[in-house]
Amino acid sequence: MAQDGEIPVGERVRELRKARRMTLLSVAQRAGISEGYLSQVERGIANPSIATLRQIAGALGLRVGDLFADQGGGRARVLRVADRPGLEFGVLGRKYRLTPRPARNVEVFIGEFDPGGSTGDDPYTHGESEEFVLVLKGRVELQLDGEAIELAAGDSADYSSATPHRLVETGGAPASVLWVISPPSY
C-alpha cells in the first residue's frame, strides 16, 4: 500500500510508459507478460513479483528501483559525470546519458566519435519522439531519410526519431554532439 504522497507502482508504470509513448502491448511483449496482466498491474489490480517488475522496468529501459523512486517534489536530481551510464553505440563512438533516470519528459545524451566514427552502419529509428542534435566539436554528416546534411561545431538540427537517421564523423578528427529527445525513447 502506498504511503501518503507516494505514487503506487502501477500508476508509476503507466506514467512512465505513457511518457515514452509506448503501448501496453509493446511493453508487455518486451517484458514477456500478457497485455491484460500489465493493464491489471497499472490499475493496481495485480501485484507483480519483483522478477516481473524487473521485466517491466527493463522493457521501459529502466531499473526496477526507478519504478519506486521518489521524484523529489521539485528537487534537483543529480547525475555525476563518473556515474553516467554508457550505451552501446555505433562504430568508433561512445554515448552517455546526461539526464538522471527515470527521464519523464526529456532525455539528453552526449555522443563522442573517433575519426570515421558513426552511429552505426545503417540509419535507424527509435520511437516517435522529437530529436534535437547540436554539434559541440568537429564535423558530422546527418543522414536523414536519404538526405545528407553537413553540420559543424555550433550547428544544430531537429527531426522525428521515427525518420531513419544516422550521424557520421566527416572532419577526420574527434567530434562530439549533444542529443535532446522528447519524450524519452531509450
3-state DSSP assignment of residue 13: helix
Q: Give this prediction's pTM.
A: 0.59
How far is the first Cα of the chain from the last one, in angstroms, to the nearest whole number? 30
**Total residue length of the chain:** 186
Q: Is the dihedral of CA 83, 84, 86, 91 positive or negative?
A: negative
pLDDT at 130: 87
Q: Which residues of the chain have pLDDT under 50?
A: 1-6, 72-73
pLDDT at 70: 54
Q: What is the pLDDT of residue 177?
A: 94
Q: Tell me how many degrees the CA angle 109-115-119 measures, rounded to the nearest 5.
A: 40
Q: Are 97 and 107 spatial neighbours (Cβ–Cβ below 8 Å)?
A: yes
| pLDDT score for 104 | 64
pLDDT of residue 185: 65
Q: Cα–Cα distance between 8 and 170 in angstroms, integer?
A: 49
